[in-house]
Structure 1
Amino acid sequence: MTAVTPAKAGRREWLGLAVLCLPALLTTMDLTLLFMAVPKLTADLDPSSSQLLWASDIYGFLIAGFLITMGTLGERIGRRRLLMIGAVFFGVASVLTAEANSPEMLIAARALLGISAATLAPSTLSLLRVMFRDEKESTTAVTLWTTSFMVGGVVGPIAGGLLLDHFWWGAPFLMAVPVMVLLLIAGPILLPEYKDPSGGRLDLLSVGMSLAAILPAVYGIKELAHDGFETWPTVSLVVGLLFGVVFVLRQRGLSVPLMDVTLFSRAAFSVSVGTLLLTTGLMMGIQYLLATYLQIALGMTPAEAGLWQLPVIIPGMVAAVVGTGISQKIGTPPVLIAGLLIGSVGFGLLTQIDGNSGTALVITSSAIMFIGLAPVMALGIGTIVQAAPVERAGTASALASTTNELGGAVGIALVGSLATAVYGSTLEDHLPSGVTGAAHDAALNSVAEAAAVAGQLPGKAGAELSAAAHDAFAHGMEIASYVSIGVLLAMAALVAVLLRRALPAPTAQQPAPQPVAAAEESLPSGA
């Protein structure tokens, strides 16, 4: 049988990729914008601490909760159609967020924004699987799409900070509106439609189970990270895990499941999911700590801290693209192993940071870490999507996106909790003698509260507390970095043993994957 050469992507596909990268960038930006707007927002809307917490968290909660559902729904009704619907609601929700005149309206608007964002990531990623049939081009496209998420995390604080300097707190959220309008105009022209005609009806019970599994689990993890061990967050986490088990058992018994759990029987898929989960978790966890260090220990504003991320993100983006190219010649596992080892070197440099370290060491160590792990994240997502059949690309894309979301939540929770515990125990042994009572408890709670207490103490006592808190926080980052090094080395060994067998080195061009279902509309390959 003669192998079919995959069709090369044309100008229309590459322009379509640029369009698909924009919503990916925006969904990450919106994770950071509200945090920056908190001072002005608090003065304007006067939310309670509980309302502010829900306004901050509900966006990420609902993204994580609805990703699997939206990924499967796209296969039922059409991936491009779902993307267009999501773009409309995302634009509307952005306006409602910007114009919110009460805490309740803000929380509701952010909830709608999170559900809308959940339609964007799996739809954009799964469409790439249809648009780019050539394996090398597909890997490159997924890499560029992945880096757009990374760029969003940096552009958000910079652009948001500039707008907040000149306008009201809601102005940064309006950046989404012209992007969604562009997507609605260009999408039908540049993007193909695809759906799985054998997909069947959406199982609403499975939808409910997936939400009952993910939402309580993410909530429990975040609360345990923030407040330490407490009864209700622990119960929430356990309930989420139990519903997760029930959800998986139900999927095994359905002829047309909401999530095809048999994908995990493929070594390339399951190892890639695990690698992506842990890599994202470590990256998000340590970036959270570094952002705090830059702003508290080095006294930067959020916008300044964002600008200092440019020397980190740009080399990482280049490394992701270069690593993708190298993987097409020598295979994915060697690049993953090299990236994990380079990332561990970056974490090694982070162990040298103390309370008096300057910007250079922080940025250099972060850049090396990002240069190593950015290709791992990009290739991990690509492997997850490519390991699934074309008709299951929506499910695979949703799982890749869910892995990113859960990885970030778990990473911030676990890495942050570890660093906070070390910080508290270290500062306890080095507190100045004049810090007692409520000031003592507040200083031990977090480095931010220690900075506030230090500002209220007279002269030398405030300076001593500030220095001790910075040193304790740096020690917490040091211990978290040592643990991260151990995890990365273990992951490298796992990839070397398992993934090298599942993903052999590339040889001749493989036959093009044949779609199970024809697209509703077929576009010429080289417009």
Structure 2
Amino acid sequence: MSVVLDHKRKAGARQWIALGVLMLPVLLVTVNNTALSFALPAISQGLQPTAAQLLWIVDVYPLMLAALLIPMGSLGDRAGRRKMLMIGSSGFGLVSLFAAFAPTAEWLLAARVGIAVFGSMLLPTTLSLLRTVFRDDRQRSLAIAIWTAGFSAGAALGPIAGGFLLNHFWWGSVFLLAVPVLLAFLIAAPLVLPESKDPNPGSVDPLSIVLAVLTMAPVVYGIKTLATSGSPLESALLIVVGAVCGVLFARRQVAKGYPMLDLRFFRSPRFSGGLAVNTVSNVALFGFLFFFTQYLQLVNGRDPMSSGLLMVPGLVLSILAGLGAERIARFAGLRTAVVFGLVLVAVGFFVVAFTDQQVSEVPVLVGFTLMGAGTGLATTLSTDLVVSSVPEAKAGAASAVSETGYEVGAVLGTAVLGGLTTAFYQAHLDLPAGVPADGAQAARETLGGAFDVAAGSPLGAAIADAATAAFCSGMQLTSLIGGVLVTAVAVILVRVLRGDRRVRRAEG
């Protein structure tokens, strides 16, 4: 009887303070990443990286994060989640200092790798500690809603803070955002956060860790390479290598008494359905952001600060939808609330697909606002589905899988939907006669390249108009595909969650 009462005990002031402390690294990671996207032009001018180096400075973070989240979540279960969180926070801060003062592009790239390694220790442990701190189901759902809202809050603060710093200081200042936040966390965390770990973790399995990394990294990189017009053969080989390693990883987990990742998790519709929602929502969001930020800054000529401010309403609505998710689920039913969130995401895409962005930016802003509300609602509930579907001792591993869904979704959103936007832009670009061959090639590469060519050409207005028309056509076609994809997942999810008894109980 005492165990049951302990499991359902209500959280007090100390636990809610602990939630506030756990939000600091969450805010830190998201602010750091979104602020960096606005610093890329300044980094290009300051360090003069090659095109490949600049791409890797952006891509290496989500690539490494996706590869390391599951191993780090499992290590946290074994070594202690608070200990892992402290190590990750200290390393994240130190490497951020290194990145801020990097003298060359190579040094900055190395720093981004380090930030990803230590960042992979943060997200699974914060989410799994919520499962330990909040044992009451409703309080845990609210805590996860606040945790999820922290992502949107960080995404909203990143462009604003980054825009302010870049308007007043050098590009490295965006990395210094991490330092005061981490200092506050390292002081407060030992005082209010409990240590927790799997009581029967088994030994650390280095081969499983290696296989997990070799499963995720080649597949994600192969898809990115294929989507950015790389070698199809190279992409296929990378994906095959990842798939083979994935099979070996799965066979090893099944054979072990204490696996790093218990594959039985995936038998639960709550777990698998929640993971699908996390992944697809981030595919949609980051694919949308790929063309949204270019549209605001290049097509509409807005500076980073004003572009960031225009994103705030959608991100604020995402926060509010996340905070109200548990109440919406109680009113409408859990399955209905999750599916409704995905429907809002799809409608956001369709608004862009069936309107003319050359006439007004309002439809794109409306689309992003709907998407913010939909992702805030859907991912909050789906994260709770994943975390609550496994035993508490395995919360770190389950949280890591959930976070991997986020990161893989982010990578695929940029790679697949971003790649489609670029491909449609290139297919629809109709440059005026008289543009030199080298200028035409640069204009076809990217929208930014087209505006650079237009700035130095007597045909500048015609080139800019052609590029704008082609890019807006690409946005529309990509949005149509994105909307159809999300709608299909919503329909499938209705059937998947219908068969889960715990979802039916929650709805009853």
Instruction: Tell me the TM-score normalized by structure 1.
Output: 0.91
Deviation at 1:299, TM superposition (A): 0.8
Q: Distance in 2 between matches of 1:421 and 1:43?
A: 27
SS, match of residue 170 in structure 1: helix
Q: CA deviation at 1:376?
A: 0.6
Structure-to-structure mapping, 1:228-377, within 5 angstroms = 228-377=230-379
1:413 aligns with 415
Assess if the C-alpha contact under 8 Å between 2:156 and 2:316 holds in 1.
no
The superposition leaves residues 12-39 of structure 1 with CA deviations (integer Å, 9 ceiling, x where unpaired) of: 1111111111211211222233333334
SS of 1:309's equivalent?
Answer: helix
Matches within 5 A, 1:208-227: 208-227=210-229
Using the alignment, how far apart are the partners of 2:499 and 2:161 within structure 1? 45
CA–CA distance in structure 1, aligned partners of residues 226 and 491 of structure 2: 30
Look up the match of 1:120: 122
Q: Which amino acid aligns with 2:126?
A: T
The aligned counterpart of 1:440 is 440
Residues 95-114 of structure 1 correspond to what in structure 2 (within 5 A)? 95-114=97-116
Partners of 2:290 and 2:137 in 1: how far apart?
Answer: 35
**1: distance between equivalents of 2:19 and 2:485?**
34
Q: Contact (CA 8 Å) 2:35, 2:161: kept in 1 or not?
A: no
Deviation string, structure 1 residues 293-345 (Cα, Å, up to 9, x no partner):
11111111222211111111111211222222121344310101222222222
Q: Please name the residue that 1:404 is paired with.
A: 406
CA distance 1:11–1:357, shift in 2 (3 Å): farther
Alignment check: 8 A CA contact 1:351 1:481 kept: yes
Are 1:213 and 1:239, in contact at CA under 8 Å, matched by a contact in 2? yes
Alpha-carbon distance, 1:43 to partner: 3.8
The verdict on how the C-alpha distance between 1:73 and 1:417 changes in structure 2, with shifts beyond 3 A counting, is same
Question: Identity rate of aligned residues, in percent?
Answer: 37
Conservation of the 8 A alpha-carbon contact between 1:126 and 1:394: yes
TM-superposed deviation, 1:290: 0.8
The answer to whether the 8 Å contact 1:297/1:355 transfers is no
Distance 1:46 1:420, change over 3 A: closer
Rounded to whole Å, the distance in 2 between the matches of 1:266 and 1:338 is 21
Determine which structure has greater relative contact order: mean sequence separation of CA pairs < 8 Å that are 6+ residues apart, divided by chain length: 1
Deviation per CA, 1:456-494, whole angstroms, max 9, x where unpaired?
Answer: 220xx3212211211111111111111122122222222
Q: Give 2:431's aligned residue.
A: 431
2:29 to 16, 27, 30: 27
Distance 2:56 2:482 in 1: 30
2:452 aligns with: 452
Q: Is the 8 A contact 1:418 1:480 kept in 2?
A: yes
- Change in CA separation of 1:39 and 1:370 when aligned onto 2, cut-off 3 Å: closer
Question: Within 1, Cα distance between the matches of 2:80 and 2:436?
Answer: 62
Residue type at the aligned position of 2:151: F
In structure 2, give the amino acid aligned to 1:278.
V
Shift of 1:375: 0.6
Equivalent position of 2:73 in the other structure: 71
Indicate yes or no: 2:139 matched with 1:141.
no
Amino acid at match of 2:91: F
- Residue 521 of structure 1 is matched in structure 2 by none
Q: Does 1:475 align with 2:473?
A: yes
Q: How does 1:496-515 map to 2 (within 5 A)?
A: 496-502=494-500, 503-506=503-506
Deviation string for 1:191-211 (max 9, x for gaps)? Answer: 111111210111000111111
Q: Tell which deviates more after alignment, 47-56 or 340-349.
A: 47-56
**CA shift at 1:93, angstroms?**
0.7
Matching residue's letter, 1:481:
S
Q: CA deviation at 1:372?
A: 2.1
1:493 aligned partner: 491
Q: CA–CA distance in 1 between the matches of 2:359 and 2:223?
A: 31
2:186 is aligned with 1:188: no
Q: Give the residue type in structure 2 aligned to 1:406.
A: V
Judge conservation of contact 2:208–2:260 (CA < 8 Å) in 1: yes
C-alpha distance in 1, partners of 2:346/2:172? 39
Q: Which moved more, 1:247-256 or 1:122-131?
A: 247-256
What is the CA-CA distance between 1:105 and the residue it aligns to?
A: 2.4
8 Å contact 1:332–1:505 — kept in the other structure? no
- The 3-state SS of whatever aligns with 1:356 is coil
Report if the CA contact (8 A) 1:228-1:417 is conserved: no
Quote the Cα distance in structure 2 between the aligned partners of 1:105 and 1:369.
36
| 1:248 and 1:261 in contact (8 A); partners too | yes
Alignment-mate amino acid for residue 404 of structure 1: Y
Structure 2 CA distance for aligned equivalents of residues 42 and 411 of structure 1: 24
> Contact 1:330 / 1:505 at 8 angstroms: preserved in 2?
no
Corresponding residue for 1:512? Answer: none
Deviations 1:347-381 (A, max 9, x none): 22111343523332221221122212321111111
The CA RMSD over aligned residues, in Å, is 1.9
Which deviations, in whole Å up to 9, do the C-alpha atoms of 1:221-277 show, x marking residues without a partner?
222222344433332232222212221121111111111111001111111111221
Paired letter, 1:195: K
Aligned to 1:88: 90
- Could you say if the C-alpha distance between residues 173 and 308 of structure 1 is closer, same or farther in structure 2, counting changes exceeding 3 Å? same
Aligned to 1:6: 8
| Partner of residue 173, structure 1 | 175
Bigger mean CA offset, 240-249 vs 79-88: 240-249
Aligned partners of 1:307, 1:463: CA distance in 2, in Å? 28
